[in-house]
Chain A
Amino acid sequence: GESVGLHLPTLSVQEGDNSIINCAYSNSASDYFIWYKQESGKGPQFIIDIRSNMDKRQGQRVTVLLNKTVKHLSLQIAATQPGDSAVYFCAERDNYGQNFVFGPGTRLSVLP
Chain B
Amino acid sequence: NAGVTQTPKFQVLKTGQSMTLQCAQDMNHEYMSWYRQDPGMGLRLIHYSVGAGITDQGEVPNGYNVSRSTTEDFPLRLLSAAPSQTSVYFCASSRSGQGYGYTFGSGTRLTVV
Q: Which residue numbers of A lie inside 8 Å of B, CB to CB?
A: 4, 9, 31-32, 34, 36, 41-46, 49, 51, 89, 93, 97-100, 102-105
Determine whether B48 belongs to the interface, using a CB cutoff of 8 Å to chain A: yes
With A89-B43, A105-B42 already in contact, the answer to whether A43 and B48 are too (CB < 8 A) is no
Determine whether B99 belongs to the interface, using a CB cutoff of 8 Å to chain A: yes
Chain B residues with CB under 8 A of A105: 42
Chain B residues with CB under 8 A of A45: 104
Complex: chain A residue closest to B45, CB-CB? A99
- Having A49-B101, A99-B45, one finds 5 other A-B pairs with CB under 8 Å, namely A43-B92, A44-B43, A44-B104, A46-B102, A102-B42
Q: How far is the CB of B97 from chain A (nearest CB, A)?
A: 9
Complex: chain A residue closest to B4, CB-CB? A43
Complex CA–CA separation, A105 to B37 (angstroms)? 11
The reply to whether A102 and B43 form a contact with Cβ atoms under 8 Å apart is yes
Chain A residues with CB under 8 A of B45: 99
Number of inter-chain CB pairs below 8 Å = 53
Determine whether B58 belongs to the interface, using a CB cutoff of 8 Å to chain A: yes
The reply to whether A104 and B106 form a contact with Cβ atoms under 8 Å apart is no
Complex CA–CA separation, A99 to B4 (angstroms)? 17
Looking at the complex, which one of B31, B92, B99 makes contact with A32 (CB distance below 8 Å)?
A: B99
Chain B residues with CB under 8 A of A49: 99, 101
- Interchain residue pairs with CB less than 8 A apart (6): A44-B102, A46-B101, A49-B101, A97-B98, A98-B50, A99-B33
The reply to whether B98 and A42 form a contact with Cβ atoms under 8 Å apart is no
| Residues 30 to 45 of chain B near chain A (Cβ within 8 Å) | 31, 33, 35, 40-45
